[in-house]
Chains A and B, each alone.
Chain A
Amino acid sequence: MSDPLSPHGAIRAITQARLNFGPPRFAADTAASLDFALDHARAREAVESELDVARLTAGLDAMGLPHDTVTSAAASRDVFITRPDLGRQLPQDQADALSRHTPPDVAVVLGDGLSAIAIALNGVAFVTELSKSLSQDRLSIGPVILARQARVGLGDGIALALGAKTVVMIVGERPGLSAADGLGVYITQNPSAQTPDSARNCISNVRAEGLPINDAARQTYDLIKEMRALGCSGVALNQSRATNVLTSD
């Protein structure tokens, strides 16, 4: 069906738009209609999915990575979806619990974001790669924090509680109709309670068919080294160097 030499295949190579091949039909046919509904069902399932903490901790144990778990101030999935502000807040008792760990150099957080499925598929592999690079540089990451009902900003509170100067917040991206397995990686130097988005660097679409995990982990590592050398991240980091080839949004 997608023979690159056929007109259909050549067009598919140019655009993934759901074009109407063949004679124009004035209503979507049954197959196209049900295909669309299935793609949406998959996206909804990803949005509604909960972080599978048992499986993630087993995966981290197997890699020899310590871990801890938190839940944002959004107590349920429904609250999380409609109250992004609560998904950015770390309750005080959980912050107190995290502060008992030895302060690491880099806090690493796996948060469900808008697709816990993406974390289940790619989360452990990403942090394993990243931790290898960081440990070669003798940078400690402390326990990997598994965060339920987590928006990007939750990483700031976690880093402050742990006493880390750098935070890597990995969240499941909002699912599209064609993919629900993309990770977004947000790296922030010197996070505060009011970190603006402009002070973060972001690597997006981290997944097998997008930016491969190893490449994304390498880019993250390079950014962390640069941020720690220059003492800033985001727009300030871009401004303090000649080019901004590492940033992506």
Chain B
Amino acid sequence: MTYFADIDGQRFKWPSLKHLLAHATPERTGDQLAGLCASGPVERLAAQRCLADVPLKAFLDDVLQVEDDDVTALIFEQHDAKAFSPIASLTVGAFRDWMLDPTTTGTDLTAIAWGVTPEMVAAVSKIMRAQDLIAVAAKIEVVTKFRSTIGLRGHMSTRNQPNHPADDSRGIALSAIDGLLMGTGDAVIGVNPATDTVPDYIRICEVLELIRTQLDIPTQHCLLGHVSTAIKAMEQNAPVDLVFQSVAGSTKANAGFGVTLPMLDEAYDAVHSLGRAPAGSNIMYFETGQGAALSADAHHDMDQQTMEVRAYAVARAYRPLLVNTVVGFIGPEYLANGKQIIRAALEDHFCGKLLGLPMGVDVCYTNHSYADQEDMDVLLTVLSAAGVSFVITVPGSDDIMLNYQTLSHHDANYIRTTLQRPPAPEFAAWMDRMGIGTPDVKIPSIENALGQLRLPTS
């Protein structure tokens, strides 16, 4: 089907819904790199006006138009016609207006989560300004639970990310304690390993388990290795709280990560059968990011933001505890600068929340991007207004393993004190018990941690 719009006597045409979505996307380098963007600002607005008039029902067809794509199949399988019924007669533009209407509540928005598809959600986000993305996301409360409760209204959680370039056990432990002393880690204490071997996976899980049990922290830990490594480690009884995997929006893009949906099923069953989590807990953790599909040449000529939202269909199939977009990590060829990173993060957060995900953001950038820590300050602040579930923090914003900049533990405290966003209630109570942030703190200082905590020697 051909779509068109007339502006000032000029007719713009797009041969498919996929093209229309791409040309309606706010400017970003990844779509330019892929040759999928509008020719200029006027064509983009023409596409946005055209998109606003498309009925939501049009998105129930195969928008990607790729045979045998298992993410597409999953999207069809997830679609709940009953949940869709309240909005089934709306166009994309009317859907935006309905969400922004003050009489539409968070409960109304939660009720349609399984009625909307990723392509519908991506489409409406393209005609929403930053303020709209914040306002609607702020209405939606997505609560998940393991040892701590994440996503409660008015709270903001953090992932404490104690990475070390050599996966040194004590280096990881010291960095984790640095964050705990600053009150971060209520979403998860999560390490990106430098290596991906089973013995290292088990060792690092044991380090994190030692810290958690000795300090009796109401949180969970996670090693962000490959899902296949996690499965092997669990076979050897590694103390795995959460299984992690990076996921993307097409079969081919997931193959680029070396992952299939049956592998995720197997990992879910394995971690569930460990029985470490209280009944009814959420036990998976996923990361995503715009540009992942394009970088694997697996975007099938779909714009990077719509591909990103398709990844959320994969994530939500597993009712995860945590999902975050690693928004600025991929580099300036996908998101050039602070403006593009901020816009993409707000899109990802909004789209994830509308699909029912506990959406967090790795507020980050690389040194070759046109961005700096001040852009991250702005992004953190607007995400807090939008009610972000969690953000990632490291010592002094400097991730010494992944060589990029994310937020610091201090930044979490800035939001806590300036916008009154405490961490998860269980963790806040633990902080009080331990005197975190007071002169009477009961956990060892960095200087004393090696002597006072039972930690591995290497």
Contact = CB atoms under 8 A, between A and B. Distances in A.
Contacts of B372: 40, 44
Given A24-B441, A174-B367, A177-B398, A17 B164 contact: yes
B447 A81 contact: no
A20 B439 contact: no
Residue of A7, A20, A84, A174 with highest tally of chain B CB at under 10 A: A20
B182 A174 contact: no
Given A17-B174, A19-B175, A19-B395, A44 B182 contact: no
Nearest to B177: A19
Residue of B162, B405, B436 with highest tally of chain A CB at under 10 A: B405
A167 to B, nearest CB: 23
Nearest to A35: B396
A126 B395 CA distance: 35
A21 B168 contact: no
Interface in A30-49: 32, 36-37, 39-40, 43-44, 47
A47 B370 CA distance: 10
A64 interface: no
Contact of B367 (A14, A28, A44, A83): A44
Residue of A7, A18, A23 with highest tally of chain B CB at under 10 A: A18
Nearest to A39: B398
Given A174-B366, A175-B367, A17 B437 contact: no
B396 A82 contact: no
A40 B394 CA distance: 16
A222 interface: no
Given A17-B164, A84-B333, A8 B405 contact: no
A10 B29 CA distance: 44
A147 B81 CA distance: 58
A175 B404 CA distance: 10
A217 interface: no
B2 interface: no
Interface stretch (B18-26, B130-138, B408-416): B408-416
B396 A17 contact: yes
A66 interface: no
A23 B439 CA distance: 8
A23 B182 CA distance: 10
22 contacts: A7-B448, A8-B447, A15-B400, A17-B171, A17-B400, A18-B398, A18-B408, A19-B178, A19-B395, A20-B395, A20-B446, A23-B439, A27-B410, A28-B410, A44-B372, A81-B333, A82-B33, A82-B333, A84-B333, A177-B367, A177-B398, A177-B405
